[in-house]
Chains A and B, each alone.
Chain A
Amino acid sequence: MSVKNVLAVALGIMSAIGGFVDIGDLVFNTQAGAIFGFQLLWVVVIGVVGIIVYSEMCGRVSAVAQRPVFDLVRERTGFGAGLATLAASEVVNLMTCAAEVGGVAICFQLLSGLPYRLLIPLAVLALAVSSWVLPFRWLERVFGYLGLSMLAFAVAAIKLHPDWGHVAHGFVPGSHSGGSLMVYLYFVVGLLGAAMTPYEVYFYSSGAVEDRWGVKELRLNEVTAMIGYALGGFLSFALMIVAGVLFLPRGISPQFLGTPALTAEHALGQVGLLLALVGILFAVGGAAVETSFAGAYNLAQFFGWRWGKKERPAAASRFTLSWLAIFALALLLVMTGYDPVKLTEYSVIFSVVALPLTYLPILLVANDHAYMGANVNGKLANFLGVLYFGLILAIAVAAIPLMLLTHGGQG
């Protein structure tokens, strides 16, 4: 592979990571670690494989059909189903965007000491201006690279000397000591939901078209999906491990978004805290941009508008106004002062409920010879795709009952 290719792969991977660890992963992995220690690590693995499988499909569709998956939903599944998918996606995108914006505001607060309420509009402004000014690839790079600062958590996890034997056990589903079965299952659902968010795969699909992927990029697609999300999973492990080492023995329940960063401080001092906060800021900020764009992509692609960062904002004005409006609505939601951690939990759970509706079109389109030609799903992709779809159906049904039964994981 030439230097140029290696660079392209590296860049692609960085961008993929930027989106993987978002506020949902932060909240659920940390809380899971605080209650169950390392016992839910296996769930993260399942979630990572799931999103790799579906992201690879989405990227392949974009590279081969030259159109993103959502663009094909209305013509492939029909008007009614397409509209239902759009509606569900938009609601979930908006909730998630608001949760991410809240996370960014809190990071600003922890870094600056300024009041939270003031920082919310500032956070939205910063995100909107970045999205407006930066070309697509730079947007991916800035948030992706700086989000890598979260690797401080990985360093912290190692420095804290967890019982690696126990950690290894966590990769095998087993006991659930420390909490009731219901709470355990709630976190299984939540962790999977946080790992397999729909906005992620739709953004990836549209992003592939924005990056002008063609059939030549099929290999790049596979590598980006696998390594990018695997590295994100690795970061999730780190979050769960540090919480397991520091919070579980002390009975700390991380109810504040800033709490996870303290684990990095404990292990690495002020530098660790700073790195952790910057990492979270850009990872979550990147996710905020992705959710708002995913929402705009979905609207534009359902109605057939011109879309894309590649267009001049005024030429694709409805698309532009869409993502600006999503930021504006997210701003309003966060300004209500609703607890950002609770907002995050709701956004993840609702995203789980919408998962079947949002993931099924991906499986259908990736199997469609008319769009994919020879590049339709092979046996492995279909086996995994259908297997995960079954899993998605199961957690979609269980999500809200578990949330209600466990009072949002409180037990």
Chain B
Amino acid sequence: MRLSELLNRKVVTESGQELGRVHGVRGELVGGRLRVTGLVAGKLGILERYGVGTQGSGGPRQAKVHGHPVIPWERVVRVGSAVVVRD
């Protein structure tokens, strides 16, 4: 699956609670590989979408996630038309 397909996908818990849309994907660069370690979902305001307030997203170490918590990949149940995560 393409990253762009994953982005903006709805995230819901198993019990149906909506957590917003995927706007970030956390990863780990290790040993020449790039592993996906989590997702960031939530509602993004207009300004944040444009990059205002992301404070330093120009490099890998400065990634900000708009104040939304990271959902570790272990919590992801399946990726379908929506991303389903454990409660």
Interface status of B80 (Cβ within 8 A of chain A)? no
Interface status of B32 (Cβ within 8 A of chain A)? no
Q: Tell which of B14-22, B35-43, B47-55 binds the partner.
A: B47-55
Q: Tell which of A73-81, A228-236, A344-352 binds the partner.
A: A73-81
Beyond A75-B58, A81-B51, 6 additional contacts (C-beta under 8 Å) are: A364-B51, A368-B55, A368-B56, A369-B56, A369-B58, A370-B59
Q: Which residues of chain B are within 8 angstroms of A370 by Cβ–Cβ distance?
A: 56-59, 61-62
Q: Which residues of chain B are within 8 angstroms of A72 by Cβ–Cβ distance?
A: 58
Q: How far is the CA of A370 from the CA of B63 in the complex (A)?
A: 9
Taking residues whose C-beta sits less than 8 angstroms from the other chain, chain A's interface range is 10 to 19
A316-364 residues with Cβ-Cβ distance < 8 A to B are 360, 364
Q: How far is the CA of A81 from the CA of B44 in the complex (A)?
A: 14
Taking residues whose C-beta sits less than 8 angstroms from the other chain, chain B's interface range is 10 to 19
Q: Which residues of chain B are within 8 angstroms of A136 by Cβ–Cβ distance?
A: none
Q: How far is the CA of A75 from the CA of B49 in the complex (A)?
A: 12
Could you jot down 26 A-B contacts, CB within 8 Å? Answer: A72-B58, A75-B58, A76-B51, A76-B57, A76-B58, A77-B50, A77-B51, A78-B49, A78-B51, A81-B49, A81-B50, A360-B50, A364-B51, A364-B52, A365-B58, A368-B55, A368-B56, A368-B58, A369-B62, A370-B56, A370-B57, A370-B58, A370-B59, A370-B62, A371-B58, A371-B59
**Chain A residue at minimum C-beta to C-beta distance from B61:** A370
A-to-B contact residues, CB < 8 Å: 72, 75-78, 81, 360, 364-365, 368-371
A-B contact count (CB 8 A): 34
Q: Give the top 6 A-B pairs by smallest Cβ distance, nearest first.
A: A370-B58, A370-B59, A77-B51, A370-B62, A369-B56, A371-B58
Q: Which residues of chain B are within 8 angstroms of A76 by Cβ–Cβ distance?
A: 51, 57-58
Q: How far is the CA of A75 from the CA of B59 in the complex (A)?
A: 10
Q: How far is the CA of A370 from the CA of B50 in the complex (A)?
A: 17
Q: How far is the CA of A277 from the CA of B57 in the complex (A)?
A: 48
Q: Which residues of chain A are within 8 angstroms of B58 by Cβ–Cβ distance?
A: 72, 75-76, 365, 368-371
**Chain B residue at minimum C-beta to C-beta distance from A75:** B58
Q: How far is the CA of A368 from the CA of B51 in the complex (A)?
A: 10
Q: How far is the CA of A365 from the CA of B54 in the complex (A)?
A: 11
Q: How far is the CA of A72 from the CA of B51 in the complex (A)?
A: 12
Picked from A78, A369, A371, the residue with its CB within 8 Å of the CB of B50 is A78
Quote the shortest CB–CB distance from B40 to chain A (angstroms): 15
Q: Which residues of chain A are within 8 angstroms of B52 by Cβ–Cβ distance?
A: 360, 364
Q: How far is the CA of A78 from the CA of B62 in the complex (A)?
A: 16
* Interface mask (B49-87 → A, CB under 8 Å = 1, otherwise 0): 111100111110110000000000000000000000000
Quote the shortest CB–CB distance from B25 to chain A (angstroms): 14
Quote the shortest CB–CB distance from B50 to chain A (angstroms): 5
Quote the shortest CB–CB distance from A82 to chain B (angstroms): 10
Q: Which residues of chain B are within 8 angstroms of A75 by Cβ–Cβ distance?
A: 58
Q: Which residues of chain B are within 8 angstroms of A365 by Cβ–Cβ distance?
A: 58
Q: How far is the CA of A50 from the CA of B52 in the complex (A)?
A: 21
Q: How far is the CA of A166 from the CA of B83 in the complex (A)?
A: 70
Q: Which residues of chain B are within 8 angstroms of A369 by Cβ–Cβ distance?
A: 55-56, 58, 62
Q: How far is the CA of A338 from the CA of B23 in the complex (A)?
A: 47
Quote the shortest CB–CB distance from B53 to chain A (angstroms): 9
Q: How far is the CA of A81 from the CA of B52 in the complex (A)?
A: 12
**Chain B residue at minimum C-beta to C-beta distance from A76:** B51
Q: How far is the CA of A371 from the CA of B55 in the complex (A)?
A: 11
**Chain A residue at minimum C-beta to C-beta distance from B63:** A370
Quote the shortest CB–CB distance from A234 to chain B (angstroms): 35
Quote the shortest CB–CB distance from A143 to chain B (angstroms): 33
